C-alpha cells in the first residue's frame, strides 16, 4: 500500500491542484479510499478499509512527528498518572516495577485497585484532574496509606518518606514470622487464610506469603491477558481470539500443581460489567447498564460454548490437585441447576473421550447480590460451598457503583444492610452444613476481617500480601473479644 504509485500520484496531484498541505490531503484521500472499499458490497474488501486507515494512520504519525503513547515503554520505577487504566493496560502492573498509581477514576474496590494491591503497588484514586497537575518527569510520592499524592516534594518531605519506607520494611520483617504459622486467635481458634489471584504466576507468591490455598482465582484476567498478548504480537483484529481450552488447562494445572493438596477455588469467567473481554464468540458488548447486564454467569449462559470450554479445561486439570469450582453472580436457584447440568454434560463427554477427571469437584456459588444472600437458604442445598463476594454485595445492596469516585463515600461495607446479609448467609450455610468463606476485599482489611471472624467466618481469602498482616491481627484478639466487636456492629 505504501508504494502504490496510483495512490501516491493522486495525493501529489491533489496537493498541486488544491494547494493544501500533505497532512490534510492524505487524510481526505485515505477517507475517500476507505469509504469506497466499505461500500464495495464485498466483505473481504470492506475489511481492507481498516488496513488502509491503519497503515496511513501510521504514516500520518510520522509526518506529524507524533509518537503514540505505548504503555509498554514505561520504565521501571515510574508512577503512572492517568484518568483511568484500561483493563488490558493493567497487565503492565505484573510485568514492570511500577512505583505507584495516581488515577482520577476508580475506587478502593475497583479492579485496578485490587490488582495494584496484589503487586504491592501504592495507588491513590479519585484524584480530580490529576493529569493536569502532574507532568512528565515530575518527582511524585504516592502515599497509599493516607491516600495522597505529593508532587515534587521538598527535602524535608522526601526524608520523612524515606523514614516511613524504612519503618515499613521493618514491619514487613516482623510479619515474616507469621508467614509459616497457622492463623489463630490469641486463644487458639483457627482460621484458613487463602489467596486471591488473577494470574497463574501468582500461585507461587501465595505460597511465599503462607496461604492455606487459593480462595479465588479470577479467571477473567487470563482472558484479558490473552487479548494483551495478541496486541503485543501486533495483531489489530478487533476481537481477541478465544482463550483456548489448552491455554486454560495449562493455567489451571499450573496453579493446582503449585498448591499441592491445598484447596484451589477457581471461579468461572466473571466478564462483563467493568471487566470487558473480547473474543470471537463474545462480541463487543454495548449495554446501557453493564453492571446490571450480561455479566459473569449470565454471560456464560448466553455464550454456553465459552462456559463449556472453561469447564472442560477445569475438569481436565482437576486430577492435578484439590480443585473447587465457583460460579459468580448467582441470583437464582435455576442458574445453579443449569450450571450443574452443563457441568454434568462436560464430565460425561470427557469420560466418553477417555480423559481422566475428578468426578467429585465441589461446585459452589458466590453470594454477591442481595437476591443470593436473602435466598441463601434456597441456594444452599444446590451448592457445595458459599463464598461471600462482599465487593459486589456492597455495590448491589446499596446500589453504589464500586468504581465511581463521586459516590465513593457511600460505598460502605459496614452498612448495616450489608452486615445483615452476611450474617444471614453465614446462618444459612451453617444450617445446611456447607463451608462458607469471604473472598471480597473485606477479608483482607484488618478492621473488617476481625468483624467477619467475630461473625463466625473461619475462611478468609485475600490478596496474598495481606495474609501475614491478617494473621498478626487475628493473633491479637481472643475469639470472645472478636464476637463482642461484631455484635456491636450488628446492633
Ligand atoms: C466480590 O465481588 O467481592 C468479588 C470477590 O469478586 P470481584 O471483586 O472479582 O467482582
Ligand atoms: Mg464480584
pLDDT tens digits for range 75-119: 999 999 999 887 667 778 877 889 999 999 887 767 788 788 888
Task: Determine the Cα–Cα distance for residues 227 and 12; give it in Å rounded to an integer.
Answer: 39
Task: Determine the Cα–Cα distance for residues 30 and 399; give it in Å rounded to an integer.
Answer: 47
375 flagged as catalytic:
no
pLDDT of 235: 53
439 flagged as catalytic:
yes
Residues in contact with ligand 1 (CB, 6 Å cut-off)? 216, 218, 270, 368, 389-392, 439-440
Task: Give the list of residues 6+ apart from residue 104 with CB closer than 8 angstroms, or none.
Answer: 82, 83, 84, 125, 126, 127, 128, 129, 130, 131, 405
Read off the C-alpha cell for 55.
Answer: 497503515
Q: Ligand 1 pocket test: pick from 118, 194, 265, 270 the residue with the most ligand atoms within 8 Å of its Cβ.
A: 270
Nearest atom within ligand 1 for CA of residue 328: 6
pLDDT of 437: 98
**Which of the four pLDDT bands, split at 50, 70 and 90, describes residue 221?**
confident
Query: Pick the catalytic residue: 111, 254, 375, 382?
Result: 111
114 CA → ligand 1 middle, Å: 10
Looking at the CA of 194, which ligand is closest? 1
Nearest atom within ligand 1 for CA of residue 196: 5
Pick from 197-211, 227-241, 303-317, 373-387: least confident: 227-241
pLDDT of 290: 85
Which protein residue has the closest C-alpha to ligand 1 atom 8?
Answer: 391
pLDDT of 244: 86
**How high does pLDDT run on average in the chain?**
91
Mean pLDDT of 30-37: 91
Pick from 80-89, 319-328, 445-454: least confident: 80-89
Query: Pick the catalytic residue: 254, 375, 382, 439?
Result: 439
- Helices 304-317 and 333-352: crossing angle in degrees, nearest 10, is 60
Task: Determine the Cα–Cα distance for residues 273 and 287; give it in Å rounded to an integer.
Answer: 9
Q: For residues 41 and 464, which has the higher predicted lDDT (pLDDT)?
A: 464
Which protein residue has the closest C-alpha to ligand 1 atom 9?
Answer: 218
pLDDT of 99: 94
Q: Which residues of 31-43 are buried (b: 16+ CB within 10 A; e: fewer)?
A: eebbeebeeeeee
pLDDT of 228: 56
- Asked if residue 386 has pLDDT above 90, the reply is yes
Q: Say if residues 295 and 273 touch (Cβ distance below 8 Å).
A: yes
CA distances from 382 to 278, 376, 422, 444 (A): 31, 10, 19, 28
Q: Ligand 1 pocket test: pick from 194, 329, 372, 389 the residue with the most ligand atoms within 8 Å of its Cβ.
A: 389
Read off the C-alpha cell for 410.
Answer: 457511600
213 CA → ligand 2 middle, Å: 19
Q: Ligand 1 pocket test: pick from 107, 117, 199, 366 the residue with the most ligand atoms within 8 Å of its Cβ.
A: 366
Can you count the helices (H) and strands (E) in the chain? 20, 14
Give the CA radius of gyration of the chain: 26
Q: Say if residues 84 and 403 touch (Cβ distance below 8 Å).
A: no
Instruction: Kindly write down the DSSP assignment for every residue of 141-159, as one continuous string.
Output: EEETTTTEEEES--HHHHH
Task: Determine the Cα–Cα distance for residues 202 and 218; give it in Å rounded to an integer.
Answer: 11
pLDDT in tens, 259-291: 999 999 999 999 887 676 767 677 766 788 888
439 CA → ligand 1 middle, Å: 7
**Which of the four pLDDT bands, split at 50, 70 and 90, describes residue 51?**
confident
Mean pLDDT of 314-332: 98
Q: Which long-range contacts (CB under 8 A, 24 or more apart) does 353-358 make?
A: 355/315, 355/316, 356/319, 357/315, 357/316, 357/318, 357/319, 358/315, 358/318, 358/319, 358/323
409 CA → ligand 2 middle, Å: 20
120 CA → ligand 2 middle, Å: 21
Q: What is the pTM of this model?
A: 0.78
Nearest atom within ligand 1 for CA of residue 216: 5
481 CA → ligand 2 middle, Å: 30
Amino acid at each position: 500500500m505504501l508504494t502504490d504509485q496510483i495512490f501516491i500520484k493522486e495525493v501529489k496531484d491533489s496537493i498541486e491542484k488544491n494547494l493544501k498541505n500533505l497532512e490534510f490531503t492524505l487524510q481526505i484521500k485515505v477517507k475517500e479510499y476507505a469509504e469506497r472499499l466499505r461500500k464495495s458490497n464485498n466483505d473481504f474488501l470492506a475489511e481492507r478499509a481498516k488496513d488502509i486507515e491503519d497503515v496511513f494512520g501510521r504514516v500520518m504519525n510520522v509526518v506529524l512527528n507524533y509518537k503514540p503513547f505505548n504503555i509498554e515503554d514505561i520504565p521501571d520505577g515510574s508512577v503512572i498518572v492517568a484518568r483511568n487504566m484500561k483493563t488490558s493496560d493493567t497487565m503492565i502492573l505484573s510485568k514492570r516495577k511500577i512505583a505507584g498509581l495516581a488515577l482520577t477514576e476508580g475506587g478502593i474496590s475497583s479492579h485496578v485497585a485490587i490488582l495494584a494491591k496484589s503487586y504491592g503497588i501504592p495507588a491513590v484514586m479519585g484524584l480530580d484532574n490529576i493529569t493536569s497537575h502532574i507532568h512528565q518527569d515530575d518527582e511524585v510520592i504516592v502515599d497509599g496509606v493516607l491516600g495522597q499524592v505529593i508532587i515534587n516534594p521538598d527535602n524535608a518531605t522526601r526524608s520523612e518518606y524515606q523514614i516511613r519506607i524504612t519503618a515499613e520494611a521493618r514491619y514487613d520483617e516482623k510479619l515474616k514470622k507469621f508467614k509459616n504459622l497457622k492463623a489463630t486467635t490469641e486463644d487458639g481458634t483457627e482460621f484458613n487464610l487463602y489467596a486471591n489471584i488473577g494470574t497463574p504466576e501468582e500461585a507461587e507468591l501465595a505460597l511465599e506469603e503462607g496461604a492455606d490455598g487459593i480462595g479465588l482465582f479470577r479467571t477473567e484476567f487470563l482472558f484479558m491477558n490473552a487479548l494483551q498478548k495478541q496486541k503485543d504480537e501486533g495483531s489489530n483484529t478487533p476481537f481477541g481470539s478465544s482463550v483456548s481450552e489448552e491455554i486454560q488447562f495449562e493455567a489451571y494445572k499450573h496453579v493446582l500443581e503449585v498448591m499441592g493438596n491445598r484447596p484451589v477455588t477457581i471461579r468461572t469467567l466473571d466478564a462483563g460489567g467493568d471487566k470487558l473481554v473480547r473474543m470471537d464468540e463474545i462480541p463487543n458488548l454495548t449495554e446501557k447498564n453493564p453492571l446490571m447486564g450480561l455479566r459473569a454467569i449470565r454471560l456464560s449462559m448466553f455464550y454456553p460454548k465459552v462456559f463449556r470450554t472453561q469447564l472442560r479445561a477445569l475438569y481436565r486439570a482437576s486430577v492435578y490437585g484439590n480443585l473447587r469450582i465457583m460460579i459468580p453472580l448467582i441470583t437464582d436457584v435455576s442458574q445453579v441447576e443449569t450450571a450443574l447440568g452443563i457441568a454434568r454434560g462436560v464430565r460425561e463427554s470427557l469420560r466418553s473421550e477417555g480423559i481422566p477427571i475428578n468426578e467429585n469437584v465441589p461446585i459452589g456459588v458466590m453470594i454477591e447480590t442481595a437476591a443470593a444472600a436473602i435466598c441463601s437458604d434456597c441456594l444452599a442445598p444446590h451448592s457445595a460451598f458459599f463464598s461471600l463476594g462482599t465487593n459486589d454485595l456492597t455495590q448491589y445492596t446499596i446500589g453504589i457503583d464500586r468504581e465511581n469516585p463521586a459516590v465513593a463515600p457511600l460505598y460502605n461495607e459496614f452498612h448495616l444492610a450489608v452486615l445483615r446479609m452476611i450474617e444471614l448467609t453465614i446462618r444459612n450455610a451453617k444450617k445446611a452444613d456447607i463451608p462458607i468463606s469471604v473472598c471480597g476485599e473485606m477479608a483482607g482489611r484488618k478492621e473488617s476481617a476481625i468483624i467477619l471472624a467475630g461473625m463466625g467466618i473461619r475462611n478468609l481469602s485475600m490478596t496474598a500480601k495481606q495474609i501475614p498482616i491478617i494473621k498478626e491481627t487475628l493473633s491479637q484478639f481472643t475469639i470472645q473479644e472478636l464476637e463482642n466487636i461484631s455484635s456491636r456492629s450488628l446492633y
